[in-house]
Structure 1
Amino acid sequence: MAYSYEPHRFEEFEEGQTFLSPGRTITETDVVMHSAMTSDWNELHTNKEHAKERDFGERIVHGPMTFVQAIGMVMRIGILERTAYAFLGMNYMDLPNPVHIGDTVSLEIEVAETKSLESRDDVGLVVFETEMTTQDETVVFQGDLKFFVLTADE
């Protein structure tokens, strides 16, 4: 499976299409930058001694950071480069397992739905089912991401 794709207009997406992101190793710097950007310095993520006493026995990555990485991976593969008009939200998001510092994550994306809009001819709705896994195939994120994508006429 390829890891880099050409930008897609709305009409080029078909239900069932799949895309795979390149892997990315989550680093200490990533966690510190996320903490600084969000002001979330929860000790489960930032205090090694405190985290040792918790369920996972070590610091884990922020759940919202896992979501942000998923969005970044969608954009990184290129299918929405200059064609994403708006991120509209999600119907669901699950974080079934934590991401650990040092994990390498990747995202599989499947086109779940495409829908033309009666009210607009410049964009269409594309819904992606996504699943992020670690290097050992542990699922750490699942969710549907909804985007307006530019049409070929735009």
Structure 2
Amino acid sequence: MAYSYEPHYFEDFAVGQTFQSVGRTVTESDFTFHSMFTGDWTELHSNRHYAEEEYFGGRVAHGPMTFTLATGFVYRCGFLERTVVAFLGMNYMDIPAPVKMDDSISLAMEVIETKPFSSRDDAGLVVIDTTMTNQEGTVVFEGDMKFMIKTRPE
């Protein structure tokens, strides 16, 4: 499977089309930068000794950090490069298992809807269903992402 994609305009997307990201390992720096950026220093994410005594037995990624990692995979694939107008939200998002320090994660994507906008002719809606898994195949994030994508210039 190819892991590098060209930018896609609205017309280039089709329901059922799939994409696969490369993988990456979640590091101490990811945890620290997320806490620094958001100001969320909850001890389940930032205090190793505290987290070891809690439910997950160690530090876990912030829920919003897990979502942010997923969006990063979408953009890293390149198919939205210079064609995305806006991220419009999600219909659903689930985090069924935690992302832990040193997990290697990747994202599978499938286009589940494309729809022209009745209010504009320069962009359309593309909805991409996503599933992020860790190195063991455990699903750690699922959700659909709605994007406004430019139509091909004439």
Instruction: Calculate the TM-score normalised by the size of structure 1.
Output: 0.98
Looking at structure 1, the residues matched to 24 and 150 of structure 2 have their Cα atoms a distance apart, in angstroms, of 28
Looking at structure 2, the residues matched to 110 and 68 of structure 1 have their Cα atoms a distance apart, in angstroms, of 18
Structure-2 residue corresponding to 1:83? 83
List structure 1 runs of 4+ shifted beyond 4 angstroms. none
- Residue identity opposite 2:50 in structure 1: H
- Runs (5+) with no aligned partner, structure 1: none
Looking at structure 1, the residues matched to 29 and 118 of structure 2 have their Cα atoms a distance apart, in angstroms, of 45
1:109 equivalent to 2:109? Answer yes
SS in 1 for 2:15: coil
SS in 1 for 2:44: helix
- Residue identity opposite 1:89 in structure 2: G
Structure-1 residue corresponding to 2:20? 20
- Residue identity opposite 2:126 in structure 1: V
The Cα RMSD (Å) is 0.8
User: What per-residue deviation string (whole Å, max 9, x for no partner) do you get for residues 105-127 of structure 1?
Assistant: 10001000000111100000000
SS in 2 for 1:71: helix
User: What per-residue deviation string (whole Å, max 9, x for no partner) do you get for residues 33-79 of structure 1?
Assistant: 00000000000011111111111111111110000010010000001
1:69 equivalent to 2:69? Answer yes
Looking at structure 2, the residues matched to 52 and 83 of structure 1 have their Cα atoms a distance apart, in angstroms, of 44
- Residue identity opposite 2:56 in structure 1: F
Looking at structure 2, the residues matched to 141 and 134 of structure 1 have their Cα atoms a distance apart, in angstroms, of 10
Looking at structure 2, the residues matched to 14 and 134 of structure 1 have their Cα atoms a distance apart, in angstroms, of 27
Structure-2 residue corresponding to 1:137? 137
Looking at structure 2, the residues matched to 128 and 26 of structure 1 have their Cα atoms a distance apart, in angstroms, of 23
Looking at structure 2, the residues matched to 31 and 3 of structure 1 have their Cα atoms a distance apart, in angstroms, of 26
SS in 2 for 1:8: coil
Looking at structure 1, the residues matched to 142 and 37 of structure 2 have their Cα atoms a distance apart, in angstroms, of 24
Residue-pair matches, total: 154
